[in-house]
Amino acid sequence: MTNPKTYEPTPSRRVAFLGLGVMGYPMATHLALAGHQVTVYNRTATKSIAWLADSTRAGSQRYAETPALAAADADFVFCCVGNDDDLRSVVLGEHGAFASMKPGAIFVDHTTASASVARELSALARSRGLQFIDAPVSGGQAGAQNGLLTVMCGGDAAAFEAARPVAMAFSRAFTLLGDSGAGQLAKMVNQICIAGLVQGLAEGIAFGQKAGLDMAQVLEVIGKGAAQSWQMDNRGKTMVDGKFDFGFAVDWMRKDLGLVLDEAKRNGARLPVTALVDQFYADVQAVGGNRLDTSSLIKRL
């Protein structure tokens, strides 16, 4: 992992990190490089062993065979797993993190999950003398690798302030947006906006190609005007070139949009474009594009 990150001086803390996927692996690495004592857990232990063997590791780190063992004596337990069920599996039960966390410890969950599970686990944490912050991230695999994630948080203000200096090891922004569940709801807003932007960009490129335009040149021009967006800057030219291996997979986006649409049913929001783009992603899945990145929407066109 290249490491352009500059770490703010913070006291070394005992932390655990649960889940070493494409996001969690580099996030845990940044915590170690920032000088914290990190214990990692991953469902597949070979990933934890590989993490320890990584040459970028700094300090005295270890891995544990269960979330409870990883979380014991930790001041902060960070987590980044797949969905609500995965989150419950590492938090609850005899071998879950809550079983061993010491009073006053803070659980910071970076999973993109439902607002309801965030509220459920936050209430359970409080009943055990713990704190829970829902803290989904934006910035993708590159953001995790570079330690420049944007983190949207919900939970107790004092717990947030305690966690923030530690979490800045892998963040460029770590912001409290409200009570428990607010972080997850903000991430849903993020995904709604991305879905519409990517579909609009895909349609624009496809239209320009049908019209015989040099779309690389067109994107360079309109990228200096009102059409500019992160998606255009970072995915426009790769969409023109038919390259779709840039991290955030269609399968993950459909999971996230499923959370969005479920929440919209509860709160009454009308999301016609988001629902349509979700079905367009289903079309991409149907032709085997499950692991392509989200800009692969253009393949439908």
The CATH number that domain 185-300 falls under is 1.10.1040.10
The alpha-carbon radius of gyration of the chain (Å, integer) is: 20
Cβ(69)–Cβ(45) under 8 Å?
no
Give all strands (DSSP E) within the chain, no chain letters: 14-18, 37-41, 62-63, 76-79, 106-109, 131-134, 137-138, 149-153, 171-176
Mean pLDDT over 241-262 rounds to: 95
Cβ(133)–Cβ(108) under 8 Å?
yes
Percent with pLDDT over 70 in the chain = 97
pTM recorded for the entire structure = 0.94
Mean pLDDT over 244-265 rounds to: 95
Residue ranges per structural domain of the chain: 14-179, 185-300
pLDDT at 2 > cutoff 70: no
Tens-digit pLDDT profile for residues 173-186: 999 999 999 999 99
CA dihedral (115, 121, 125, 127) in degrees, to 10, reads: 100
Distances in whole angstroms, Cα of residue 144 to Cα of each of 167, 185, 227: 12, 21, 27
pLDDT at 246 > cutoff 90: no
The CATH number that domain 14-179 falls under is 3.40.50.720
Mean pLDDT over 62-79 rounds to: 97
Query: Out of 187, 210, 255, 265, which one is annotated catalytic?
Result: 187
187 is catalytic: yes
pLDDT at 187 > cutoff 90: yes
Tens-digit pLDDT profile for residues 26-39: 999 999 999 999 99
